[in-house]
Structure 1
């Protein structure tokens, strides 16, 4: 069955789950989750996978073992494509709408060190240029970042903003009205096509450096 958009009920479900994130609520409304969230996301995933690679949908339960927040369920539905460890495309559906991004998201020390090393080098100017171009198309740069520059990075470094990042999450959002239309599939595909040069650069530079660091024990 073709993707026809996410119904209003999907966004209402997440709003209500945020108010009552309990096992009792989940069991009362699980059929709503399956019908309004999981099934449309599965259809969207099926449309995108032939071009971008096999997407996997995340389970709704949270892993609370290492978190102070013991809420049992995620207030979003995620799906991702792992192009290689720590790098890929991401979909995020929540009460506000739909977000499509490209992510460099592994938090292992080698991955963070590799990202900062290649951004600091002269070739990092290529990544900055790609990111600036995406900003002009409406993409925002997110991810885990320091509030200040990393130790040893001069204040005047031309890429000090990127060097603050431990992870990168670059993309854009559409609201629940746009996410409710069949055209949301084309919107995600177009967003990911625009992000592909950044992911290719990260694959050829940051991911390669991370493998070198792991191999050397760094």
Structure 2
């Protein structure tokens, strides 16, 4: 990833259209390197999951920023990011990767569940939170991801008691997990495999959430 790191470092110091146009070849070299990496990652991911994202290139987000409603008008991102989406209603959750000089990481989970899904998750947690809690408190989870992340309500959600024993989980509006990598790790020739294995380690969490989303409160499948 050294080509990409070199490009992103220079871009962060010269985040303007004039420099970008004059150094378009550096951008293209970085873009090709990221496409190659994403293709390798997709190949590794499909060995243990079913991903509907068709190509590595399709997984990559554009480097151009949408500045229409932002005070920061710098036109380009100082990182590359991309998403991989699981195929089928029985495979919930998604994967995100982020490569940047200021830090590289992966995230997985449920970034913006709609109101119907969020209520269903909360009803499941309120009834029986043990499967999810066992995952997020396990030694393997803590070793790889630390803790459950995501925006939370400051108070109890509507319809749920503030003294519910699982109120800490009920407050979540997003359910995400993250692992960071050093630049040295990112530059490892086997980094696509390393990242894929990290995504695989997310599966107990994704499976627990999927179980809640695809069954009713009696455990009967909804799909």
**Over residues 89-113 of structure 1, what are the superposed CA-to-partner deviations in whole Å (9 max), with x where a residue is unaligned?**
1111111342122120125333433
**Residue in 2 aligned with 1:115?**
121
The change in CA–CA distance for 1:129 and 1:28 in structure 2 (over 3 A counts) is: farther
Is the Cα contact below 8 Å between 2:4 and 2:34 reproduced in 1? no
Mapped partners of 1:183, 1:10: distance in 2: 16
Larger Rg: 1 or 2? 2
1:127 aligns with 2:113: no
* 3-state SS of paired residue (1:136): helix
**Over residues 72-100 of structure 1, what are the superposed CA-to-partner deviations in whole Å (9 max), with x where a residue is unaligned?**
22222111112269821111111134212
1:89-108 aligned at under 5 Å gives the runs 89-108=95-114
* 3-state SS of paired residue (2:75): coil
**Structure 2 residue aligned with 1:21, among 12, 15, 19?**
15
Mapped partners of 2:214, 2:111: distance in 1: 11
Structure 1 unmatched runs, 5+: 1-5, 210-218
Instruction: Note the C-alpha offset of 1:68.
Output: 4.5
Structure 2 unmatched runs, 5+: 217-223
With a CA cutoff of 8 Å and minimum separation of 6, indicate the structure with the bigger relative contact order: 1
**Residue in 1 aligned with 2:27?**
33
Mapped partners of 1:147, 1:22: distance in 2: 39
* 3-state SS of paired residue (2:109): strand
Instruction: Note the C-alpha offset of 1:25.
Output: 3.3
Is the Cα contact below 8 Å between 1:11 and 1:97 reproduced in 2? no
The change in CA–CA distance for 1:145 and 1:191 in structure 2 (over 3 A counts) is: same
1:61 aligns with 2:61: no
Mapped partners of 2:83, 2:189: distance in 1: 20
**Residue in 2 aligned with 1:212?**
none
RMSD: 2.8
Q: Normalised by the size of structure 1, how large is the TM-score?
A: 0.76
* 3-state SS of paired residue (1:63): coil
Instruction: Note the C-alpha offset of 1:12.
Output: 4.4
1:1-218 aligned at under 5 Å gives the runs 6-7=1-2, 9-36=3-30, 38-50=31-43, 51=46, 52=49, 53=51, 54=53, 55=56, 56-83=59-86, 87-122=93-128, 124-133=129-138, 134-140=140-146, 141-150=148-157, 153-154=160-161, 156-206=163-213
**Over residues 116-165 of structure 1, what are the superposed CA-to-partner deviations in whole Å (9 max), with x where a residue is unaligned?**
3333321x221121122243323143223335554565555443333232
